[in-house]
Amino acid sequence: MAAGRPHTEPEPVVVIDTREQRPYAFPRSVVRTLSSGDYSIEGYETVVAIERKSKEDAYGTIGGGRERFHREVERLAGYDYAAIVVESSLPAFLKPPPYSQLHPNAAIGTLLSWSVRYRLPVLFAGDREHAQAATHHLLKRFAWYAQEGTLVR
């Protein structure tokens, strides 16, 4: 950025996957089918993605839908940037949903192992509101770095 030039972040058009059942609201968004993830940026759909998980969904997909979720994680690993944003704090995540038979150590161990193996950050955002804000911020920053040509790949 040139000296004296004001820092203006672009407001990207967020692409929301058609399968997202409870989509976040963004200032600018469109609904389209994404090949991976729940959220992306228009024009960058194959290079950036955010996968949103509620605590219940995370336990369900790690336990019962593990193979499908693992394939999703492998696809996301091929993106320039991808992350999993969990609508839970870490302490709350360690208290499994009542129906879950999955031990919390297995759930967190899986997420952290995949985070290292696939270089896929996992953010425990606290709640839905903060997860939405984190998702928006991550996508805006990706758009900013991509626009400025300073994105390290």
Is the sign of the CA dihedral 127, 129, 133, 135 positive or negative?
A: positive
Number of Cβ atoms within 10 Å of the Cβ of 19: 10
pLDDT digits (tens, 9 = 90+) for 72-108: 999 999 999 999 999 999 999 999 999 999 999 999 9
Residue 21 has pLDDT above 60, yes or no: yes
Question: Of 146, 148, 149, 153, nearest to 40 (Cα)?
Answer: 146
pLDDT band at 29 (very low <50, low <70, confident <90, very high): very high
CA 137 and chain centroid, separation: 11
- Fill in the amino acid letter for 33: T
Cα–Cα distance, 139 to 89 (Å, whole number): 21
- Domain 49-148 matching CATH 3.40.50.10130: the answer reads yes
State whether residue 32 is helix, strand or coil.
strand
Tokens 């929301």, residue located:
16
| Single pTM value for the model | 0.91
Q: What is the mean pLDDT of the chain?
A: 93
Residue 4 has pLDDT above 60, yes or no: no
